[in-house]
């Protein structure tokens, strides 16, 4: 699937984000090519979401630049979306008191241009644009399977459907690249599989996808390429196999063995943790496990 | 209408046809109590006509007795409807008990208020005639019986579909009734507070009863089914209002209400839709009023020009727009409460600037505290607004002329509000209000969209201010304060929006009406007006935070349990779980 011949939709070059003395993201380079699904993984606090915020203009990177289809993006969220990068949020940020349809219509904002005057005068152009927006929004709701709930308030949707609606809303801006921030967090295995299907379908529509996720099965099923971010730095980037077998990745997630510790005991521990990791995300306890592992990794790296 | 059955409520419902004999008895007693209250209003309650309304006549109810009479009849009718009397079932589409309780309480409250007021005003219970005692007892009994009744609240049952002429007739009747009720309130004796307080009590309880009975939901179903008919009916009701007033001061009340309601609706774009708290909105009204006054050709104006009215209005609007952009541009880039602080400051600066631009402390523009008096009367196509006119046998005085002009402005603002609100830009405003980060991530230029809302609000206030200046024929700085007992002031406007219901059209109109009318009628409160105002606001915000006319969205925001918006009947559980999960 990986196509290196085409020019990338997204080129992040040396993106660095510092908050005072803390370097959250340190000179990360990342390319996403058209039709690709790229995963971004890493322990909690590795800087994945910060990196996303740098890409979408919510943060202004301290150093480095982000380019969409060769053009460097200004660090303004609405201009980034207009250029063609849409995103979802880690903690769902729907417009809770708007209907499902209205949420998607807001997503159409950049692809329509009717201003106040045309709204007040209600000319034929306005009506046509409204009807077209509505038709496109319904199409997307159809696509995500929410069409029958178009008139519900988005706050009343069940959790899984709220996640879907966020994706539909992001797709409404006809993006060339979709950034998904933990799209399956808190989902049960069936919902996770459904999301997997949805992401494949989005890719088939011609939209490249960059996805942050903690559910390793989800990531390795889905992604053509996976980048691993640890402590703000990109550790490895490659296919699932490469990443899975990389010792540094395992160390980052699970920590390195203590010197002088009984080998057999350690090995058993690692095995148990691996078994846990393969189920990560499927159980609600997963994020906590992740935290512990992340902390372990960090302390040991510091030594 | 629809075929799908609404799910049964968890409330244990008394099966129709199998009502317990006790319930039947209690309902019959309630009906009898209502009837007794009705009868009591035909007796004399006091011996002297000194008490306002003349309650001394046998055989003919008057003054406050009329309120007891109406509520008594309503109690009796609803009790009969609860008993299953054919032809009355339509009164209680969603249950009778709660409505009966409210009506019984209302009758009781109005009657006891009257009786106690007689005793207090005339110094002693001895001033009560037997009729008063009978009324007091007759209205207390139904309160007891209704609170013993089992709750029979049920989901709204949809009656058979009536022919459309009948529906339209019902809408017309509702508006006629509404006009009568409003008129009754406006025309109550301003020298005595008792009739108006009684009126307020009666209207409040009756309104809650109608909501509980489900009649309000029925009516709003009808009005949304016949939108254009409803709009025409509302328009006619508003137009005929001045022709029903026998005193010019009542029409003047109407003009002021129309002006403040319009300004509140303009503020609602800023506060209700875009979520920007503007605490100095009255200053934009002032900018419009002062601008219009300066170019009106007033002898006191420092500029020697005389614009025609339409040009003065446009100038007022444009100057307000410029001020709106100047204030908004630097502050709207920031998030949070900065805008509230800046607008609060702007409101005060405007007033002080108008005070000081008097030729001694600053350049001579506004005549300082004297303001700009003698704004010449409006004349459009030879139609002088200060003269009396007679249209088709109906006479219209100066206030009536201005009322109709102001009504035109109100209609324009209502149109602007509904059209802007229901469009791409309106959705962007609501999105910004809901979650600014997500909105910008959806490609909305937050600053620009907010500035449009703010500037539009300022312009509308400027236009209303220009009309108001001509109506008042004078402008002075002290009208434009942050808070005060007399509208307009910024607090009054914000309160009207919040009290009425943010983001709705009816809300600010109703809120401004109530907030203007009540203090006008209760002038005896004097210094305590602001205190009463504050207490009323606190109570309202505690018990009905979404305002009197709730936005469907807000209603859900404040009352988590009801799945009110769901078309048809889908799982309440799903939604509830979704919410808790999302918040976890």
CA distance B380 to chain A (A): 26
d(CA B115, CA B533): 26
**What is the mean pLDDT of each successive set of 10 residues along chain A, which is 303 residues long?**
68 93 92 93 90 93 92 92 94 92 94 89 91 95 93 90 94 94 90 93 94 91 92 91 87 72 66 70 45 42 39
pLDDT digits (tens, 9 = 90+) for B8-41: 444 444 444 456 788 888 888 999 999 998 988 8
Domain count, chain B: 2
d(CA B341, CA B331): 10
Tell whether A143 lies on the interface with B, counting CB pairs under 8 A. Answer: no
What is the bridge-based pairing of β-strands A177-181 and A10-19?
A: unpaired
Q: What pLDDT is recorded for position B554? A: 52
In whole angstroms, how far apart are CA B231 and each of B223, B415, B423, B508, B509? 9, 11, 20, 17, 15
Asked whether residue B375 is assigned to any structural domain, the reply reads yes
What is the bridge-based pairing of β-strands A22-32 and A10-19?
A: antiparallel
Together in a domain, A168 and A181 = no
Q: What pLDDT is recorded for position A280? A: 55
Together in a domain, A149 and A204 = no
Q: What pLDDT is recorded for position B553? A: 55
CA distance A57 to chain B (A): 9
Q: Across chain A, where does the E strand assignment appear? A: 10-19, 22-32, 37-41, 63-68, 71-72, 85-87, 177-181, 208-212, 225-230, 233-238
pLDDT digits (tens, 9 = 90+) for B197-206: 899 899 999 9
Task: Tally the C-alpha atoms within 13 A of residue B549's C-alpha that lie toward its C-beta.
Answer: 18
Together in a domain, A105 and A205 = no
In whole angstroms, how far apart are CA A71 and each of A7, A9, A74, A79, A82? 12, 10, 9, 12, 13
Together in a domain, B278 and B162 = no
Nearest to B556 among A93, A97, A110 (CB): A97
Asked whether residue A92 is assigned to any structural domain, the reply reads no
Q: B87: which DSSP letter?
A: T
Q: What pLDDT is recorded for position A1? A: 47
Which residue among A152, A172, A192 closes a domain? A172
CA distance A165 to chain B (A): 13
Together in a domain, B222 and B328 = no
Q: What pLDDT is recorded for position A261? A: 55
Together in a domain, B81 and B214 = yes
Together in a domain, A191 and A73 = yes
pLDDT value at B559 more than 90: no
Together in a domain, A183 and A280 = yes
- Residues near B508 by beta carbon (within 8 Å), at least 6 away in sequence: B261, B264, B265, B267, B268, B272, B496, B497, B500, B501
The answer to whether B577 contacts A158, with C-beta atoms less than 8 Å apart, is: yes
Q: What pLDDT is recorded for position B4? A: 43
**Which residue of chain A comes nearest to B435, CA vs CA?**
A95
In whole angstroms, how far apart are CA B408 and each of A131, B244, B377, B467? 31, 19, 18, 11
| Mean pLDDT to the nearest integer, B79-94 | 83
Together in a domain, A102 and A251 = no
Asked whether residue A91 is assigned to any structural domain, the reply reads no
Nearest to B578 among A82, A120, A157 (CB): A157
Together in a domain, A4 and A15 = yes
d(CA B440, CA B432): 8
Q: Over pLDDT 90: what percentage of chain B? A: 31
Domain count, chain A: 2
Together in a domain, B362 and B404 = yes
Asked whether residue B459 is assigned to any structural domain, the reply reads yes
Q: What pLDDT is recorded for position A278? A: 65
Q: What pLDDT is recorded for position B389? A: 76
Q: How many CB pairs under 8 A join A and B?
A: 144
State the pLDDT confidence band at B555, using cuts at 50, 70 and 90.
Answer: low
Better-predicted residue by pLDDT, B515 or A95: A95
Together in a domain, B216 and B153 = yes
| Mean pLDDT to the nearest integer, B355-360 | 86
Q: Which domain holds residue A121?
A: 97-172
Q: What pLDDT is recorded for position B445? A: 93
Q: Over pLDDT 70: what percentage of chain B? A: 90
For chain B, the average pLDDT equals: 83
State the pLDDT confidence band at B558, using cuts at 50, 70 and 90.
Answer: low
Q: Which domain holds residue B51?
A: 41-237
Nearest to B442 among A112, A153, A169 (CB): A169
Together in a domain, B187 and B58 = yes
The answer to whether A98 contacts B427, with C-beta atoms less than 8 Å apart, is: yes
Which residue among B215, B237, B259 closes a domain? B237
Q: Which long-range contacts (CB under 8 A, 24 or more apart) does B325-328 make?
A: B325/B451, B325/B454, B325/B455, B325/B458, B327/B454, B327/B458, B328/B450, B328/B451, B328/B454, B328/B455, B328/B458
CA distance A56 to chain B (A): 8
**Which residue of chain B comes nearest to A87, CA vs CA?**
B441
Which residue among B483, B505, B527 closes a domain? B505
Together in a domain, A19 and A141 = no
State the pLDDT confidence band at B159, using cuts at 50, 70 and 90.
Answer: low
pLDDT digits (tens, 9 = 90+) for B49-61: 778 877 877 877 8
Q: Is B542 exposed, middle or buried (CB count within 10 Å of its CB: 0-12, 13-18, 19+)?
A: exposed
State the pLDDT confidence band at B578, using cuts at 50, 70 and 90.
Answer: very low
Asked whether residue A89 is assigned to any structural domain, the reply reads no
Q: What pLDDT is recorded for position B86? A: 79
Enclosing H/E stretch for B396: strand B394-396
- Residues of A (88-107) whose Cβ lies below 8 Å from B: 89, 92-99, 102, 105-107
pLDDT value at B283 more than 90: yes
| Mean pLDDT to the nearest integer, B168-172 | 90
ipTM, two decimals = 0.82
Asked whether residue B396 is assigned to any structural domain, the reply reads yes
Q: What pLDDT is recorded for position A3? A: 45
Q: Which residue has the tokens 């939108």?
A: B227
Together in a domain, B274 and B420 = yes
Q: What pLDDT is recorded for position B564? A: 45
pLDDT digits (tens, 9 = 90+) for A210-255: 999 988 899 999 999 999 999 999 999 999 888 888 888 888 887 7
Query: Which residues of chain B have a CB within 8 Å of the CB of A158?
Result: 574-575, 577-578, 581
Together in a domain, B332 and B198 = no
d(CA B467, CA B289): 7
Tell whether A284 lies on the interface with B, counting CB pairs under 8 A. Answer: no
Could you give the residue ranges of the DSSP H alpha helices within B395-528?
398-421, 424-434, 436-441, 446-472, 490-500, 506-521
Which residue among A172, A207, A225 closes a domain? A172
Task: Give the CA radius of gyration of chain A.
Answer: 21
Question: What is residue B421's three-state secondary structure?
Answer: helix
Together in a domain, A56 and A113 = no
Query: Which residues of chain A have a CB within 8 Å of the CB of B425?
Result: 114-116, 119
Task: Give the CA radius of gyration of chain B.
Answer: 26
The answer to whether B582 contacts A156, with C-beta atoms less than 8 Å apart, is: no
Together in a domain, A66 and A153 = no
Asked whether residue B23 is assigned to any structural domain, the reply reads no
Together in a domain, A207 and A273 = yes
Asked whether residue B95 is assigned to any structural domain, the reply reads yes
Which residue among B475, B505, B535 closes a domain? B505
The answer to whether A116 contacts B437, with C-beta atoms less than 8 Å apart, is: no
Together in a domain, A204 and A286 = yes
d(CA A182, CA A163): 10
pLDDT digits (tens, 9 = 90+) for B367-412: 888 888 888 888 777 777 777 777 767 777 888 888 999 999 999 9
Which residue among A138, A172, A206 closes a domain? A172
């Amino acid at each position: 699937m990986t196509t290196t011949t085409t020019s990338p939709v997204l080129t992040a070059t040396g993106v660095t984000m510092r908050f005072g003395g803390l370097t959250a993201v340190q000179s990360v380079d990342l390319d996403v090519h058209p039709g690709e699904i790229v995963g971004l993984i890493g322990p909690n606090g590795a800087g994945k979401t910060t990196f996303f915020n740098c890409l979408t203009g919510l943060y202004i990177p301290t150093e480095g630049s982000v380019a969409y289809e060769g053009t460097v993006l200004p660090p303004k969220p609405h201009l980034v979306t207009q250029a063609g990068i849409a995103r979802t949020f880690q903690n769902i940020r729907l417009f809770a008191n708007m209907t499902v349809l209205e949420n998607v219509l807001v997503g159409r904002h950049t692809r329509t241009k009717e201003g106040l005057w045309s709204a007040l005068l209600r000319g034929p152009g306005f009506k046509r644009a409204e009807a077209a927006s509505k038709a496109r929004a319904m199409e997307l709701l159809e696509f995500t399977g929410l069409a029958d709930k178009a008139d519900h308030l988005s706050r009343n949707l069940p959790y899984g459907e709220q996640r879907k609606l966020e994706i539909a809303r992001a797709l409404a801006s006809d993006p060339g690249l979709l950034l998904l921030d933990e799209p399956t967090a808190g989902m049960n295995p069936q919902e996770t599989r459904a999301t997997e299907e949805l992401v494949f379908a989005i890719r088939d529509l011609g939209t490249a996808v960059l996805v942050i996720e903690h559910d390793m099965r989800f990531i390795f099923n889905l992604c053509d390429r996976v980048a691993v971010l640890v402590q703000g730095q990109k550790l490895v980037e490659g296919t699932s196999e490469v990443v899975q077998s990389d010792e540094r990745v395992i160390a980052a997630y699970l920590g390195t063995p203590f010197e002088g510790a009984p080998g057999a005991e350690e090995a058993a521990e690692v095995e148990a943790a691996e078994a846990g990791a393969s189920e990560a995300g499927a159980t609600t306890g997963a994020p906590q496990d992740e935290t512990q592992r992340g902390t372990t990794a960090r302390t040991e790296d510091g030594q | 209408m629809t075929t799908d059955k609404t799910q049964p409520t968890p409330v244990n419902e008394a099966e129709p046809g199998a009502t317990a004999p006790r319930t039947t008895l209690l309902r019959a007693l309630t009906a009898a109590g209502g009837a007794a209250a009705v009868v009591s209003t035909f007796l004399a309650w006091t011996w002297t006509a000194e008490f306002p309304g003349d309650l001394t006549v046998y055989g003919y109810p008057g003054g406050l007795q009329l309120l007891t009479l109406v509520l008594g009849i309503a109690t009796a009718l609803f009790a009969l409807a609860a008993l299953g009397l054919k032809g009355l079932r339509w009164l209680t589409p969603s249950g009778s008990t709660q409505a009966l309780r409210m009506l019984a309480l209302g009758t009781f409250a109005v009657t006891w208020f009257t009786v106690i007021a007689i005793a207090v005003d005339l110094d002693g219970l001895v001033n009560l005639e037997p009729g008063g005692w009978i009324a007091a007892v007759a209205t207390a009994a139904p309160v007891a019986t209704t609170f013993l009744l089992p709750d029979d609240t049920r989901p709204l049952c949809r009656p058979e579909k009536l022919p459309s002429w009948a529906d339209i007739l019902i809408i017309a009747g509702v508006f006629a009734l509404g006009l009568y009720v409003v008129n009754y309130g406006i025309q109550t004796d301003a020298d005595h507070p008792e009739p108006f307080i009684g009126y307020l009590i009666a209207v409040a309880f009756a309104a809650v009863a109608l909501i509980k009975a489900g009649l309000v939901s029925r009516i709003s179903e009808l009005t949304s089914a016949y939108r254009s008919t409803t709009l025409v009916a509302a328009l006619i009701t508003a137009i005929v209002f001045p022709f029903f007033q026998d005193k010019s001061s009542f029409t003047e009340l109407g003009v002021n209400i129309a002006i403040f309601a319009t300004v509140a609706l303009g503020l609602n774009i800023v506060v209700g839709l875009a979520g920007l708290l503007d605490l100095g909105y009255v200053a934009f009204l002032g900018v419009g009023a002062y601008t219009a006054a300066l170019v009106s050709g007033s002898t006191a104006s420092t500029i020697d020009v005389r614009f025609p009215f339409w040009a003065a209005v446009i100038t007022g609007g444009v100057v307000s727009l410029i001020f709106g952009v100047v204030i908004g541009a630097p502050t709207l880039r920031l998030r949070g409460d900065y805008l509230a602080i800046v607008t609060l400051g702007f409101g005060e600066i405007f007033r002080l600037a108008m005070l000081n631009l008097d030729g001694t402390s600053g350049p001579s523009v506004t005549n300082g505290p004297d303001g700009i008096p003698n704004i010449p009367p409006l004349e459009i196509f030879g139609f002088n607004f200060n003269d009396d006119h007679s249209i088709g046998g109906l006479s219209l005085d100066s206030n009536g002329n201005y009322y109709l002009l102001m009504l035109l402005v109100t209609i324009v603002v209502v149109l602007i509000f509904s059209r802007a609100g229901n469009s791409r830009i309106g959705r962007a405003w609501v999105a910004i209000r809901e979650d600014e980060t997500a909105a910008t991530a959806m490609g909305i230029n937050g600053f620009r969209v907010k500035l449009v809302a703010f500037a539009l609000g300022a312009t509308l206030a400027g236009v209303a201010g220009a009309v108001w200046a001509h109506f008042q024929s004078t402008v002075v700085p002290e009208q434009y304060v942050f808070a005060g007992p007399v509208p307009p002031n910024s607090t009054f406007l914000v309160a009207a929006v919040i009290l009425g219901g943010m983001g709705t059209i009816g809300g600010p109109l109703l809120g401004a009406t109530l907030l203007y009318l009540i203090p006008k009628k209760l002038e005896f409160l004097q210094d305590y007006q602001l205190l009463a105002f504050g207490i009323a606001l606190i109570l309202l915000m505690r018990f009905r935070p979404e305002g009197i006319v709730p936005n469907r969205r807000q209603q859900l925001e404040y009352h988590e349990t009801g799945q009110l918006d769901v078309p048809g009947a889908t799982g309440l559980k799903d939604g509830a779980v979704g919410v808790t999960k999302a918040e976890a």
